Amino acid sequence: MSTAFRVARRRCVKIIAAAPATATSLVGLVLCASVAAAELVSETDPAAMKLKYKADATKAPERQDPQAFCDNCTFYTAKDGAASGACAALGGRPVAAKGWCTAWEGY
């Protein structure tokens, strides 16, 4: 789990805990869900663009190795089978397990 995600989750828990048990809590839950959904690095993110990151590795024209994916890159950390994980090359932000970029480095 990325540091950014943990901080966002912790912040959400504090907001919900501090809110009265009313509609405010529901708003907090919706906002937290939005934060979690927006967590994956976008292909248009400036840092991702520099590395030509693609969330779907098969759509990366520079990719030479058909077995190269984020989930077998040395910069990637995630639980086994997770759909996304943290990329150290992108500051620990989440990337798609089946993504790829030009910084890919196999084990």
Binding site for ligand SF4 (CB under 6 A): 51, 53, 70, 73, 75-76, 87, 89-90, 95, 99-101, 103-104
Give whichever of 26 and 49 is closer to ligand SF4, judged by the CB atom: 49
Q: Which is nearer to ligand SF4, 2 or 76 (CB)?
A: 76
Say if CB 47 and CB 92 are below 8 A apart: no
CA-to-CA separations, 4 to 1, 35, 36, 90, 104, in angstroms, rounded:
8, 10, 10, 12, 22
CB of 27 to ligand SF4, least distance (A): 33
CB nearer to ligand SF4: pick between 9 and 98: 98
Q: Identify the H or E element spanning 96.
A: strand 93-96
CB of 5 to ligand SF4, least distance (A): 15
Taking the complex as a whole, the smallest distance from the CB of residue 85 to ligand SF4 amounts, in Å, to 7
- Strand boundaries in 5-82, DSSP class E: 76-77
Task: Report residue 54: phi and psi, to 5°.
Answer: -125, 130
Shortest distance, CB of residue 68 to ligand SF4, whole angstroms? 7
